[in-house]
Structure 1
């Protein structure tokens, strides 16, 4: 065999291999174009940004073949209608908090956050290693959806108040902007829950239409300027110890994806989930100092108030356990882990953090 004929045949062989490889790559990475509607405005860059992060990771991993276009609340779908729109196929995906839909069924709230549940790390442990994702998806599948955790704010603040709240009696008649499921529990203590969109909270507080409002935490709250109109900033937000934001996908559209895209979607969602909490942990320390400098007066809820709220929540849970088997299945799973989680948390983590907090307060860090 002469060298020229060998090289010619080799070139032909390489070209043939390339021709065979190209369709295989195209088949494994088809072009997918989805739309995702967020329940959040794009001005809240951290919580809204979780969906942008997901979309970027997917695009980078597929050379732009799997593209998700992200739309802020209200641009395609009202923020509180994101999940129903996704289930109906109006859009392929959404980024939302499932407790927004508790009015349809209280079971919606459990995989996100309900009062006195787990903190962020506990929720993540339950979701990823305690079967929480699978249990939640058994429920979501009946709605035409599949979902994966897509962010967490960490324990939220207890809200902004125009006056001090020291006792349970101070809650009587308090008109408070409070999210759905938590509001139903607060109402048992005399609070009058108000459903007000985020962009309208400031003016409602300023006019005195409401007496208090909860939102998220220092970084997001600072953007909305609440310290100027309701100076008392309470903690903790016992109704959202570790609220999980979810990416939800139309079940039929998800099932139609190639296996590698499904895997990428789950991986990108978990990465975006971790990124949101990390970003809040970085930004909230700066924001809380800014808020105090602007006049925010930090107050902790009294033990009396926390105990009363805890008891009211347990009354509601007992009623739901007796009437709603899907709520009971999800809540029983979290409760079985909750005690173990807090027993472990107080051993090493709590003692280390307590010591370091004392050093910080003494100006030694």
Structure 2
């Protein structure tokens, strides 16, 4: 190609592009207004995985809009307490929260169905149900009554059963046990004689040390390692049947969300999906070395017996039946989860279970 012709064409093309950019700029500015939101997290900064989800969304929104959409993240207690973020979003004190629905089960048990209830779906099952099975539409139909839009935003995977000062070998060992455990799970465990306790995070260690608390659960080894429970409650039980796949959400003030330009709404949905993926991946990466660490510190790994898990399962079904009888929203969503749960675990055992089981056998043989 003749060099002078090429340069002439390039110059004309560049000028046209520059003109197009100049003409488009005012429209772009109008379509992408500058917005600043405040995010109230239910998590302290010390839980960098959980708290970090809000920061991930904030960075994504800023980067995707050239800084036009800013989200300021605040840890639990900095604006409102971790368990008060629902009210703060509903009344518009903050525009968005990063939280777990089961924290608010006392307002309505349906809140818990969007996150985790005992013997529900695992993390992959929750993703499938919420994104493909209409679960998030059902959940948002319920949340709309509270002026909230919910976007899935993370999962820890199946959690540990907790730290115990003594071994739990029989159902008798549960009776009278003072256990710091999440609200909905506590209601189920009450059926077995457990005495659920609600304590602020900073009060748990001294309560275990003094013996005024017998056990506590939090999440998984990565988070648990930081809390030092192994020193005062060395029996580390699995699995946490009450949180087989706890989904975390961004709760957004519905009025504020609907006032956003469609492009911003789409970015929030997309950014939430990034957080949802990243959080699960981070836990899967960080839990294996953390488990080795806590065992090295003296944690004694134990498993709930089938007898105990069967009793928990039966107690959970009793509680569900009681709620379904009086709460149509709960009955509708729980019914859909149960229908999918059957298919999910039928399919999972065909290949995933067999593959994972074989690989675990090879791991225990020292072949990996």
Range of TM-score over shorter length: over 0.9
Alpha-carbon distance, 1:202 to partner: 1.1
Of 256-265 and 197-206, more deviation after overlay is shown by: 197-206
In structure 2, the residue matched to 1:166 is 169
- 1:346 aligns with one of 345, 349, 363: 349
1:84 aligns with 2:87: yes
SS at match of 2:219: coil
State the Cα RMSD in Å.
1.4
In structure 1, the residue matched to 2:63 is 60
1:265 aligns with 2:268: yes
Distance between the aligned counterparts of 2:158 and 2:13, measured in 1?
Answer: 63
Alpha-carbon distance, 1:66 to partner: 0.8
CA shift digits 1:291-323 (9 cap, x unpaired): 110000000000010000000000011111111
SS at match of 1:353: helix
Alpha-carbon distance, 1:10 to partner: 10
Alpha-carbon distance, 1:11 to partner: 10
CA shift digits 1:50-82 (9 cap, x unpaired): 111111111111111111100000000110001
Runs of 4+ in 1 over 6 A off after TM superposition: 9-15
Alpha-carbon distance, 1:17 to partner: 4.0
Alpha-carbon distance, 1:16 to partner: 5.8
Question: Structure 1 residues 19 and 320, CA, compared in 2 at 3 Å: closer, same or farther?
Answer: same
Question: Structure 1 residues 256 and 351, CA, compared in 2 at 3 Å: closer, same or farther?
Answer: same
Question: Structure 1 residues 173 and 28, CA, compared in 2 at 3 Å: closer, same or farther?
Answer: same
In structure 2, the residue matched to 1:256 is 259
In structure 2, the residue matched to 1:31 is 34
- 1:276 aligns with one of 279, 285, 298: 279
Q: Number of aligned pairs?
A: 357
Gaps spanning 5+ residues in structure 1: where?
A: 1-8
The 5 A counterparts of 1:102-251 are 102-251=105-254
In structure 2, the residue matched to 1:321 is 324
Distance between the aligned counterparts of 1:13 and 1:228, measured in 2?
Answer: 70
Distance between the aligned counterparts of 1:344 and 1:255, measured in 2?
Answer: 38
In structure 1, the residue matched to 2:99 is 96
Question: Structure 1 residues 317 and 24, CA, compared in 2 at 3 Å: closer, same or farther?
Answer: same
SS at match of 1:323: coil
SS at match of 1:320: helix
CA shift digits 1:82-121 (9 cap, x unpaired): 1110110000000000111111111111111000000000
The 5 A counterparts of 1:282-301 are 282-301=285-304
SS at match of 1:346: helix
Distance between the aligned counterparts of 2:60 and 2:33, measured in 1?
Answer: 16
Gaps spanning 5+ residues in structure 2: where?
A: 1-11
Distance between the aligned counterparts of 1:31 and 1:348, measured in 2?
Answer: 49
SS at match of 2:263: helix
In structure 2, the residue matched to 1:332 is 335
Distance between the aligned counterparts of 1:270 and 1:12, measured in 2?
Answer: 39
In structure 2, the residue matched to 1:307 is 310
In structure 2, the residue matched to 1:40 is 43
SS at match of 1:247: strand
Question: Structure 1 residues 10 and 52, CA, compared in 2 at 3 Å: closer, same or farther?
Answer: closer
